[in-house]
Chain A
């Protein structure tokens, strides 16, 4: 016996049958009628297809003599390894502020493909730090007067850059609402729609922090970096700055890049669903392919300030000047300000109520 094709009613999920009188599909339970096309669209099941991740390996080998001037410095406290030229004046670890010592000639590892050179110098970084403090309340006075700002360091942070071609399929349930009234009633009419979108979007140079010591969240906070400012890597760019060695491989960084790309694919597709009052995503599937990873060094100005047993790190995008860093809260000052504000506000409200009720 042949299998009967069953269609579900989008309204009440009952089994819909063809009604010869109306020549349309009709649900015997809720009496809704649909065209064949509408019912087929509503009943299409989307199986989100799997991802195809095909990342090519980045970086290249160093040529002879290129690494001659580069030394590895090791931090005795956090174990971090920094690369700098022999003339670097740096003596403190940019991540934990403890002393670093030269432990040997740099060799091996991957040679970066690109570098975004520093566009903003140390003076600009110091100015940005002071501006960051301005206008902020409840920062302990001692913290603001601290004279560590000279220790701000320029560090090249290793990043993995992912290119990707993404393909997404989305289906949504959307509604349009119409309201009107007559003498007796208020009316509300809701029209329901099944919306599908399928398309491709390309992504370029999505950066993922390749150093475990550089906090990922801090690095993301100073984005975006503009890849148009990148140049093919040459060792002289490192001179006068520190460079961090990568220690998080490209494969480990992929997951986070994936999540960000997926979210943006969903956002871009959602933007094409217009003209509705409410939209809900029902099914989604995203496949990423033709992905390429590159290895680059991105410029960051870093400063650590320790206060009250806690470490506060400030970072500035060395290309765009974007400055971030969480500031400590002086709880006492905050509570005092809260009480004074509450008192003044209460007095003002009381006076207004008195005048209003006269």
Chain B
């Protein structure tokens, strides 16, 4: 009974924190831009070099739990 109350309280706090957090963050709409993707000239990407070279591979294994 006591455990249930404690779980309920913690769960209640977490849920309320998430909901209130979302509502508070909705108040902010001003933020800096770090990229200029809106200003890329369409179709201007021109790759002069494209190389994908295989280097090496490594294999690991782990024992499965035998029941």
A residues at B contact (CB < 8 Å): 10-11, 32-34, 37-38, 41-42, 132, 135-139, 169, 174, 181, 183-207, 216-218, 220-221, 223-224, 257, 259-261, 263-264, 267-268, 272, 323-329, 334, 337-339, 341-347, 349-350, 353-354, 357
Residues of B14-66 at the interface with A, using a CB-CB cut-off of 8 Å, are 15-17, 19-20, 23-24, 26-41, 44-64
Q: Given A186-B64, A188-B59, A193-B52, is A272 in contact with B33 using a C-beta cutoff of 8 Å? A: no
Main secondary structure of the interface of B (DSSP, over half): mixed
Query: With contacts A185-B62, A268-B45 known, is A342 near B27, CB below 8 A?
Result: no
Cα(A345)–Cα(B19), bound, Å = 11
B63 touches A197 (CB 8 A): no
Interface residues of B (CB under 8 A from A): 4-5, 7-9, 11-13, 15-17, 19-20, 23-24, 26-41, 44-64
Q: Which of A200, A223, A326 contacts B28 (CB 8 A)?
A: A326
Number of A-B contacts (CB under 8 A): 214
Tell me the minimal C-beta distance from B47 to chain A in angstroms.
4
- A205-B11 contact given A138-B23, A192-B56, A194-B53, CB 8 Å threshold: no
User: Which partner residue on chain A sits nearest B50 by CB separation?
Assistant: A197
B19: contacting residue among A341, A343, A346, A354, CB under 8 A: A341
Q: A190-B57, A194-B53, A350-B5 are in contact. Are A201 and B45 (CB under 8 A)?
A: yes
CB atoms of B61 and A200 under 8 A apart? no
Q: Given the known A-B contacts A199-B47, A202-B41, A353-B4, are A341 and B35 also in contact in the complex, defined by CB atoms under 8 Å?
A: no
A196, B53: Cα distance in complex, Å: 9
Q: Roughly how many angstroms separate A342 CA and B16 CA in the complex, as a whole number?
A: 5
Given the contacts A42-B53, A191-B57, A224 and B39 also touching, CB distance less than 8 Å: yes
In the docked arrangement, what's the CA distance between A220 and B36, Å? 10
Residue of B7, B39, B47 near A197 (CB, 8 A) is: B47
B38 neighbours in A (Cβ, 8 Å): 223-224
